[in-house]
Structure 1
Amino acid sequence: MRLTTKGRYAVTAMLDLVLHSDQGPVSLSAISDRQHISLSYLEQLFAKLRRRGLVKSIRGPGGGYCLVMSTQDTYVADIIDAVDENVDATNCSGEANCQEGEVCLTHHLWTDLSDQIHSFLSGISLASLVERREIQQIASRQNLRERNQIVMTMVE
């Protein structure tokens, strides 16, 4: 199975957005700092997420991004699909030309696996991820690190 950095980063960034949306729109620079994802890469991902109607941008001071739909209605598969990521376990990228231009013996097995993975990710909402204790612990650690960096900057 190939799930590239694009899909992983998009899901990570959306989860970060949800975890920090209680304070209003979330800036991409804040997500970039917390998740160590390039700002220019996030801009590309969020342009795709916005075009697919998963996020909206708020301009001006205090602007940033927020979810369009509720966390219960936003699924991991939607995010991955929005950034043109393809969860594909085949060796031919789903083209059915695996063996000298023809379908190989196991093509349908790997296609079925890809479908199962997509179905699995379609059942995981952002809300269900946020509820996980591990996610909350990691977010707390990141928030503490962010606060410490702010304090250190103020002291200097």
Structure 2
Amino acid sequence: MFRRLLRLGLTALLTVTTVGGAVAISSPAQAALPHCNGAGVYTSTWSGARGATAWIPAYVSSTINFNCLLIRGDHSSGVGELQRTLTGIYSRYLGPNGVDNDFGGYTQSALRSVQADIGISADGEYGPQTRDNLCWRWTGSDNSCIWLNNNH
């Protein structure tokens, strides 16, 4: 009986998904957010960079939702935008393939390194906390960036 209750409790706390044959366990917060399947244009409203734009990962359907996740194994233009920011703004190495829209080991390692440098949880996963704390590559520039959270 205890094992059954424990199993039911764990099922309620965790969501299990299959990604390319591998099993991924997500926390409830992750399970509530969609995976970024593309990218969208963010336009700054901050007075210091009003009108500046940056492409950032997004869940794209009939609308654009910037509240999404990227994890190892994901493949999309959103991964590519994250990679462009990691290389262009934060000077991280993404392996021999560079920006390839694939969230693999090099991207995960680069993201962990940047997360640690900017003082947030270095879990190697992209979500709202990472989105809000990265300085995103300004459209048309390789090394200028804008913040989504204007408190920086």
Q: Which has the higher strand share?
A: 2
Q: Which has the higher helix share?
A: 1
TM-score, scaled to structure 1 = 0.27
Which one has more relative contact order, counting CA pairs under 8 Å at least 6 apart?
1
For the pair shown, which has the larger CA radius of gyration, 1 or 2?
1
